Structure 1
Amino acid sequence: MLLYIWRHPKPLAANGLCLGHTDIGVHPRKLKRLANQIQRFVRLHKLPKVIWVSPLQRSLKVGKMLAQKGFECRVAPDLIELDFGTWDGRSWSDIPKQEIDNWCDNFAHSAPYNGESVQELFTRVEGQIQAWQNRQIDTGDNDSILAVGHAGWINMAKMLAAGEGVPQVAADWPRPVGYRELSSLRF
């Protein structure tokens, strides 16, 4: 299976925020740019017009724009970003340093923010990829999946595609992919 996944456009007023499940909007022009970018890519590579999106508006609205252009838009709840619990939507500078240090000390398995651990995200990403693979086997669909997702989810998918496990220390977590950036991953 080949996964083509774009990171959503930059949300409004997101600078410096711990952003996971918080549903922040995106300027319509940025949404349209990504939708056009995906449409051109699909046309150029003769791919099926099916787009998978997370339920958060920064991803979902791209899918809805593509649906107006003849795409089938499928919402996958497991495509959502890491759940940062009580940290979500807060400024990183407002989160006590000791809480962040506690997370970094047991990066893979702790969630001092009462949300989802990195290990739980890994399991969720792995499950979504397996569901796509099973769906393709069951339906005989083309082996390409198109999606709009989030930086943490994409980073974890890249690690899975490379045969890597869950990072045990925060320093092993890769830099986030850029907004509207395409990642091509083979599973």
Structure 2
Amino acid sequence: MRLILVRHPTPQVTSSTCYGCSDVAVAPQEITTVRASLQATLPTGVPLYASPLRRCADLAAALAQDLPASALHFDARLAEMDFGAWEMQPWHAIARADIDAWAADLAHYRPGGGENVLAMATRVNAFLGDLLREKHETAVIICHAGTIRLLSALQARLPLEETALLAAHSAHKIAYGATVVVDF
């Protein structure tokens, strides 16, 4: 199965803010710009999956209109990581000791008391397992950088803790509105 992973457009939040699973909006012109760039490249008639967070859901709803016969499914397992008390805080306001503790144990530490990377990997892996059982040739997934990194890491078919670490250690170079193709 080919997965075409699309990162949501630029959200209306400063780049210095930790916003993980917070439901931040995207400016309409951002959705229009990303939508226009994707219309010519995404296949039609394939299932479309999306995180229910607005920054993904708004783009997905627009694309479902553009891609004839594409069924749209929202799945909470595609949401970005929950950073707990860190959500919507400026990164510089988060105690250095807490960030260092997370860096020392990327798989298990729960930033801000929220979700750890291993828990996120578990839910993303469950989504992928369900999707692979549907046996589509291709699917488009509108989601977040963290979700894309995990779906890409799952391709290696490593034990889940190793997958979580692989994703956590991978460089974050996924632009807003960009696509990543992964074959399973």
The alignment's TM-score, normalised by the length of structure 1, stands at 0.87
Aligned to 1:119: 118
Give the counterpart letter for 1:150 in structure 2: H
1:174 deviation in Å? 2.2
C-alpha distance in structure 2 between counterparts of 1:103 and 1:74, whole Å: 33
CA distance in 2, matches of 1:131, 1:39: 27
| Corresponding position of 2:8 | 8
Of 43, 52, 56, 1:55 maps to 52
Judge conservation of contact 1:47–1:144 (CA < 8 Å) in 2.
no
Uncovered stretches (5+) of structure 2, i.e. residues with no partner: none
Runs of 4+ in structure 1 deviating by more than 6 angstroms, as ranges, are none
**What residue identity is the alignment partner of 1:166?**
A
Measure, in 2, the Cα distance between the counterparts of 1:94 and 1:127: 34
Q: Which residue of 1 aligns with 2:183?
A: 186
- In structure 1, C-alpha distance between the alignment counterparts of 2:44 and 2:123, rounded to whole Å: 26
Residue equivalent to 2:80: 81
Please state whether the residue corresponding to 2:72 is helix, strand or coil. strand
**CA distance in structure 2 between the aligned counterparts of 1:181 and 1:102, rounded to whole angstroms:** 31
Equivalent-residue separation in structure 2 for 1:162 and 1:50 (angstroms): 24
| Count of residue pairs brought into register by the alignment | 178
Q: CA deviation at 1:17?
A: 0.9
Aligned to 2:134: 135
1:125: how far off? 1.3
TM-score (norm 2): 0.88
User: What RMSD in Å do the two structures reach over aligned CA positions?
Assistant: 1.9
SS in 2 for 1:116: coil
> Which consecutive residues of structure 1, in runs of 5 or more, have no partner in the other structure?
137-141
Distance of 2:167 and 2:26 partners within structure 1: 32
- Give me the whole-angstrom Cα distance separating, in 1, the residues matched to 2:125 and 2:167: 20
Which letter does structure 2 place at the counterpart of 1:143?
E
